[in-house]
Homo-oligomer: A and B are copies of this chain.
């Protein structure tokens, strides 16, 4: 292989990518700072619109919609009061990672679970082997008797997480909770029975603790500095090679066998980057769709022998509550004419 000085190395490219990533993070912080007040104003405004959030969720983009089963639709239509997305590490003047996400749902008292609030936090972490992504502690949904739509998956995920935490080994596989959850996951084999399974999601690969992440970020920053200053010596090369070897060992552990949700991270990002910023657009779409025939929730999931589980006419559910769904039109008709907004 030629090694002419005119050829760039992966380090050069990685160093450029580092710089883009820093700009991205700065931009995310700036955007959050500039929009927080507007989101607060929006939250206040939409609280006055009956069924705002159920209608928004109904219009959710496919990345979200594909996870909403008919039973979930019914719960959202009947009980969803509010949705809130935050960047928890930026709140209260925090200078943490802008990629961490928190999604909170508020519900009316309902027949399915005891909770009136379910909040899931996704923390952006870096593993020692260079993997980066979101991880999240499983959130317990307090299902009423016989109502668990997740078929025990969320409870199982919570139980395993707690058992592992107790013995201080987040990769333990010898626990009875592990065996029990693995069996459940095998049974459903990737086909979720409910949107609420998401609350049990942990990671695309495995749990990464805050401590591991901090250490990994520190190592990564040192690597970045090395790339920037281009002061690589043979020792540094050897060190990198060694680290890469260590990584290979760590790489072997993958917790997929007990992961209850296949796209937990993508779903969180869709909530934060699509549904949340474009909620008014989705609501307006829902209003426009009302003119046409009501859609039936498409239901092509495999399980269909649950008690009376049939496609739900979401609009009928929402409209049962009266027709206050539509905001006052007054002079407003002209305010949003043909507003074809392009997707960002």
Contacts and interface: CB of A to CB of B under 8 A. Distances in A.
A323 B251 CA distance: 31
A95 interface: no
B10 A340 contact: no
A2 interface: yes
A147 interface: no
- State the number of copies, please: 2
B35 A328 contact: no
A2 B283 CA distance: 19
Contact of A236 (B23, B42, B45, B331): B331
Interface residues on A, range: 35 or more
6 contacts: A2-B324, A9-B331, A13-B45, A132-B342, A133-B342, A243-B334
A32 to B, nearest CB: 10
A244 interface: yes
A167 interface: no
A195 to B, nearest CB: 21
User: Which of A46, A49, A227, A334 has the most chain B CB within a 10 Å cutoff?
Assistant: A334
A337 B129 contact: yes
A129 B202 CA distance: 48
B280 A328 contact: no
B1 A328 contact: yes
A326 interface: yes
B331 A240 contact: yes
Given A132-B340, A328-B1, A337-B244, A23 B10 contact: no
A336 interface: yes
Contacts of A91: none
Contacts of A296: none
A6 B135 CA distance: 40
A31 interface: yes
A3 B341 contact: no
Interface stretch (A14-22, A71-79, A157-165, A308-316): A14-22
B27 A341 contact: no
Given A6-B48, A340-B131, A332 B11 contact: yes
Contact of A9 (B8, B132, B327): B327
A332 B14 contact: yes
A284 B17 CA distance: 12
B324 A8 contact: no
A300 to B, nearest CB: 22
Contacts of A26: 34
